[in-house]
Amino acid sequence: MKIRISSAANQDLIEGYYFYENQKENLGSYFLDSLYSDIDSFAYPVLLIFFDFPTIMF
């Protein structure tokens, strides 16, 4: 299964990461891990395709 993440949704993920990371250290990573876990539960194999995804420095 292919899951395409649009540029707008990708930007929301990035903003969500920084929002939660500013609340508490490592909470941003937990946020992304939770979302990716949910995506992984859809079906296997899953191919995530990001459009215009910038590198996030953790």
pLDDT in tens, 2-57: 677 888 888 999 999 999 999 999 999 999 999 888 877 776 665 566 655 555 54
Q: How far apart are CA 18 and CA 48, in angstroms?
A: 21
Contact in structure between 58 and 29 (CB atoms under 8 Å): yes
pLDDT at 52: 56
pLDDT at 6: 86
pLDDT at 58: 45
| Helix, strand counts (H, E) of the chain | 2, 2
